[in-house]
């Protein structure tokens, strides 16, 4: 399955001219299975399009139909975006009315002119589209998924979320270290076990190092979700039981011996600029409305399955998705936080959707 979110620069307020809370519902377009909500940018409320997840695998033409719906969603979003820009300034509901049903805050929302000092993303020469993709990743292809997102997010100077991209680039090194240690722990282990450990190790490092980087900033700034290139919507304690038994035993030993913390801290201590970072295992994360846990407990959960630390306790509010099968294939859901250019054109998004769908179908 694939879903996507597109933020645009256009701003809205409530009927009194005040900014809306983030994720305020504005409209629903059922024919294309998407909604419009508010987001936050530079202290203002901008508009975001959020699609429902679309299956892109299946027999009897279902795969092709899924891709066609994705491209149809993109076309509908482009049409609605252009209509809303044409209505600036003016009422949101009458502008969107021919294409979607205004709901909740959208009934009285107002589209406003860009205020002084606000820089629309289109100023960079793109169409100003800010994307997040959501992808159902076959568990068997987890390693290939990280290779794919790394290729789409090189950590060059000036790149968006450069630290997160750098950590993704380090993940294979961390995985190789664990695989080498596992070889001594379980000589002659099946290749499938090694592959499962390698992929899980990359998952561990990208999530754990991301949180460590976030709390290393005092005080933490920005969204913690932006500390990783691909945010897993399932929690470690839900994924861990699916690992081969000898891999689970190995990770438990790594935790018991404190080896795993040392491995992560040593690698995470180096940054993309050649500077240093600290791994503070005893620091507690306590996002609003979530049960607090320490970074060390998060690592323990990844290595032993307990305590049952939800991703929300590290990364804040999100929709968690329990690992499940789609068309008989076990999947994990990821939110890709950066994929290619920071802001995109319509053509680039079209190409991304087709490429992601082809990747899912091939794996």
pLDDT digits (tens, 9 = 90+) for 144-195: 999 999 999 999 899 999 999 999 999 999 999 999 999 999 999 999 999 9
Where does the pLDDT of residue 218 fall: very low under 50, low under 70, confident under 90, or very high at 90 and above? low
328's CB contacts (< 8 A; 6+ apart) are: none
Where does the pLDDT of residue 326 fall: very low under 50, low under 70, confident under 90, or very high at 90 and above? confident
Does any domain span residue 168?
yes
233's CB contacts (< 8 A; 6+ apart) are: 134, 311, 318, 319, 320, 321, 332, 333, 334, 335
Residues 172 and 65 in one domain: no
Residues 113 and 176 in one domain: no
Residues 124 and 168 in one domain: no
Quote the CA–CA distance of 311 and 227 in Å, as a whole number.
Answer: 13
Paired with 101 in beta bridges are 28
Does any domain span residue 268?
yes
Instruction: Indicate the number of domains in the chain.
Output: 2
Residues 177 and 117 in one domain: no
Cα-to-chain-centroid distance, residue 173: 22
- Count how many Cα atoms sit within 13 Å of the Cα of residue 299 in the half-sphere of its side chain: 28
pTM listed for this prediction: 0.95
pLDDT tens digits for range 340-356: 999 999 999 999 999 99
Residues 175 and 301 in one domain: yes
Does any domain span residue 110?
yes
CA separation (Å) from 78 to 71, 129, 131, 239, 351?
A: 11, 10, 13, 37, 15
Does any domain span residue 310?
yes
Does any domain span residue 361?
no
Does any domain span residue 351?
no
Does any domain span residue 337?
no
Q: What is the DSSP letter of 270?
A: B
Residues 109 and 169 in one domain: no
Predicted pLDDT of residue 219: 67
Domain of 287, in residue numbers: 164-319
Where does the pLDDT of residue 125 fall: very low under 50, low under 70, confident under 90, or very high at 90 and above? confident
């Amino acid at each position: 399955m694939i879903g996507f979110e597109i933020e645009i620069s256009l701003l809205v307020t409530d009927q009194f001219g005040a900014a809306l809370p983030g994720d305020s519902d504005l409209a629903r377009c059922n024919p294309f299975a998407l909604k419009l909500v508010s987001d936050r940018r530079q202290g203002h409320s901008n508009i975001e399009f959020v699609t429902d997840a679309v299956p892109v695998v299946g027999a009897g033409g279902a795969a092709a139909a899924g891709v066609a719906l994705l491209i149809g969603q993109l076309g509908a979003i482009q049409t609605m975006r252009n209509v809303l820009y044409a209505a600036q300034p003016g009422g949101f509901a009458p502008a969107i009315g021919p294409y979607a049903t205004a709901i909740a805050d959208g009934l009285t929302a107002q589209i406003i002119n860009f205020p002084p000092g606000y820089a629309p993303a289109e100023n960079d020469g793109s169409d100003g589209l800010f994307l997040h993709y959501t992808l159902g990743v076959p568990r068997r292809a987890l390693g290939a998924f990280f290779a794919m997102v790394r290729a789409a997010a090189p950590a060059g100077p000036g790149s968006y979320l450069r630290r997160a991209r750098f950590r993704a680039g380090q993940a294979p090194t961390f995985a190789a270290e664990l695989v080498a240690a596992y070889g001594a722990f379980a000589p002659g282990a099946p290749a499938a076990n090694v592959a499962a450990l390698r992929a899980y190790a990359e998952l561990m490092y990208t999530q754990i190092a991301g949180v460590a980087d976030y709390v290393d900033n005092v005080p933490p700034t920005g969204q913690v979700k932006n500390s990783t290139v691909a945010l897993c919507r399932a929690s470690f304690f839900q994924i861990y039981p699916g690992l081969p038994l000898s891999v689970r035993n190995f990770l438990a030993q790594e935790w018991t011996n404190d080896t795993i913390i040392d491995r992560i801290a040593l690698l995470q201590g180096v940054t993309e600029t050649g500077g240093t970072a600290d791994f503070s295992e005893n620091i507690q994360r306590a996002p609003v409305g979530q049960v607090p846990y320490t970074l060390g407990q998060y690592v323990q959960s990844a290595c032993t399955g307990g305590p049952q630390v939800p991703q929300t306790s590290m990364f804040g509010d999100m929709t968690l998705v329990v690992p499940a099968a789609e068309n008989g294939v076990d999947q994990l859901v990821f939110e890709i936080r950066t994929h290619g250019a920071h802001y995109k054109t319509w053509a680039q998004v079209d190409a991304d959707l087709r490429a992601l769908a082809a990747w899912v179908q091939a794996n």
